[in-house]
Amino acid sequence: MTSAAPRLPALLEALGQRAPRGMVLGLDRVREALAALGDPHAAVPAVHVAGTNGKGSVCAMVESAARAAGLRTGLYTSPHLSRFAERIRVEGEPIGDAALERALSAALTQVPSPLTFFEALTVAAFVAFRDAQVDLAVLEVGLGGRLDATNVLAAPLCTAITSIAFDHEAMLGPTLADIAREKAGILKRGAPVVLGPLSPEADAAIEAVAQAAHAGPRLRVTRADDDAEGDAAPHLGATRAGGGARAGEIVVGRAQAGGRAVHIAGPGGRALEVALGLRGAHQAENAGVACGVAWQLADRWPEIERALPVGLAGARWPGRLERIETSAGRVLLDCAHNPHGAQALAAWLDEEGPGAAHTALVFGVMADKGWGEMLQTLAPRAQRRFYVTPKGRDAAPLEALRAIAPGEPIGDPHAAVARALEGSPPGGLVVVAGSIYLVGEVRSALLGVTPDPTVAL
């Protein structure tokens, strides 16, 4: 990491002062700011990814594959776990301090109207990617899609929607169709669309938006055996594997029952088998979406298709089923922050965890999430439970959590992790989950990283 640029601390402080405004949806301010800076977003070929869960993992996989193919890459995600610079990556690494200073200075001081926290970082990302002369930028939607600051992209090379589940209903709408329509707002005329497995309600809503927008061809990820209820990555049966994927379809499943390698079959006889770098059965579906995006990009960069196995195996996405070995025991960090994410974590614990008797749960969650359903899903997987208050927005009350499942309300995450590790038996596991901000705080402490302020945006 480079030494701190002279003005960077003051710029980061000024950026943080904009956080209390929250997330203000709309594109006019961002477009005006970008125009004042020479429209840097128009100079950067880009992929745009939305979804309730999985969008960060897909972005990480696509970026990894593009980088493995020799492309100079940019990656924009949110939120950060430890440092603001994690949100803007060039060639797989957080942006250097000097480049971050230049980009933030432009977004904060050289635009006509004050931007929100997220808008300023989005503008800074486009400036940074233009200045770094990246070949491809991969951008994760912050919230929703239609009115998200990232949606200034007029002609993305490819768009993707990973999943649709209930989250942020107050801003995106009360039904899956409402949420799907908002996320489908990123679809653009002529740009290919890759869709993860969706409910019929969500799929129909997205298809209607795609047709109205004249979006490019659609590729849909399906499971090898959709009759296997609740199995996020079933074994790829011989019938489906032998026949390959149908037109417009990507089929994903396990290469062998109980194994970690996945088989992904696409249109035109495309197929690959790879052990993914990211843990969890649900990552097979995310890998299918990433392959669909990469196959579309291969029309422009054929080397991306050849680099897919290396890219998928080498992808890293911190805080997602991430294991950290400490002198006191093993800690698993997972950014499961809504019921859909909790189900994916529970599936991993059922398959690869040490069992409830050897598992402790450190759980803290934002009050505006479905914390009751989340805890009901995770509590049976851990015999010992510790409830904490993450930084950020208002958190779920500790006593309310304890009323759902017996546990110890500690409040301070660091004290709770220490307490959980103290009682962890040999081979035991301490799981930290419920909030991305909680995972970031604990991860920084475990790795000895001095974090930037937590911003719940």
Provide the pLDDT for residue 260. 73
pLDDT score recorded for residue 246: 80
Is the pLDDT at 176 greater than 60? The verdict is: yes
Q: How many C-beta neighbours within 10 Å does residue 270 have?
A: 17
Mean pLDDT across 217-224 = 94
Helix, strand, or coil (residue 52): coil
Cα end-to-end distance, the chain, whole Å: 24
35 three-state secondary structure: helix
Per-residue pLDDT tens for 393-417? 789 999 999 999 999 999 999 999 9
Q: How far is CA 449 from CA 5, 414, 443, in A?
A: 18, 14, 8
Q: Which residue has the tokens 């707002």?
A: 185
The one-letter code for the residue type at 15 is: L
**Complete domains list, the chain, with CATH:** 8-314 (3.40.1190.10), 322-447 (3.90.190.20)
Q: Cβ of 1: how many Cβ atoms within 10 Å?
A: 9
Q: What is the pLDDT of residues 227-282, one digit of tens each?
A: 343 333 333 333 344 446 788 999 999 877 656 789 999 998 999 999 999 999 89
Show the tokens assigned to 457: 């945006």
Residue 446's pLDDT is 97
CB under 8 Å to 93, separation ≥6 — which residues? Answer: none
- CA-CA distance, 97 to 276, in Å (whole number)? 31
User: pLDDT digit string (tens) for 426-456?
Assistant: 999 999 999 999 999 999 999 999 998 777 6
Tens digit of pLDDT for each residue in 42-79? Answer: 999 999 999 999 999 999 999 999 999 999 999 999 99
Name the packing angle between helices 436-447 and 413-422 (round to 10°).
70
Q: Tell me the per-residue pLDDT of 115-134, one tens digit each, with 9 for 90 and over.
A: 999 999 999 999 999 999 99
- pTM of the complete model: 0.91
Work out the pLDDT band at 20, boundaries 50, 70, 90.
confident
CB 235 within 8 A of CB 217: no
CB 264 within 8 A of CB 251: yes
Residue 448 burial class via C-beta count within 10 angstroms: exposed 0-12, middle 13-18, buried 19 and up = exposed
Q: Cα 175 from chain centroid?
A: 22
DSSP states along 55-72 = HHHHHHHHHHHHHHTT--
In this prediction, residue 238 carries a pLDDT of: 34
Round to whole Å and give the CA distance between 52 and 179.
Answer: 9
